[in-house]
Amino acid sequence: MTAKPCFDELIHPSTRLTLVATLAAADWAEFSYLKETLRLSDSALSKQLAILENAGYVATERRLDASRHKVHARLTDAGRVAFEGHVAALRAIVGGADGTGIVGGAEPTRTDDVAAGVSRRTGR
């Protein structure tokens, strides 16, 4: 199923977009793996995870592993839908750069028509 394009300001900043894309590729990811992969400090990663968790896009849990608690994170269903919609929106935007002037299925508008307040669709 193709996601409906929906630009998401919360996901869009590059650090969060990379974090969400990394989580989208796995069921769960360990904090240390995310930290190394994204080249973030503990505090920067914790902050980004907290923002995404507060939005309901990410779930985290502490697991006991060899007598140490480790934080694991995963993308929630809502986070996956938001990510896929955001990627679809970015593709629609980039698709408009192919020279057709069509972005997201809209008809192209000539610059001089826009300046004159005329829509090509209606001619008014």
CB-based burial label for 83 (10 Å; 0-12, 13-18, 19+): buried
Residue 104 lies in a domain: no
Residue 9 lies in a domain: no
Q: How would residue 37 be classed by pLDDT, with cut points 50, 70 and 90?
A: very high
| Structural domain range at position 88 | 14-97
Two structure tokens written together for 38: 């994204």
Residue 119 lies in a domain: no
Residue 8 lies in a domain: no
Contacts of 24 (CB under 8 A, 6+ apart): 75, 80, 83
Strand order in the sheet with 29-30: 29-30, 68-75, 58-65
Residue 106 lies in a domain: no
Q: Determine the pLDDT at residue 117.
A: 40
- pLDDT > 60? residue 106: no
Number of domains comprising the chain: 1
Prediction pTM value: 0.74
Residue ranges in the chain assigned as alpha helix (H): 14-24, 31-38, 42-54, 77-95, 111-116
Q: How would residue 64 be classed by pLDDT, with cut points 50, 70 and 90?
A: confident
Q: What is the mean pLDDT of residues 6-28?
A: 96
Residue 105 lies in a domain: no
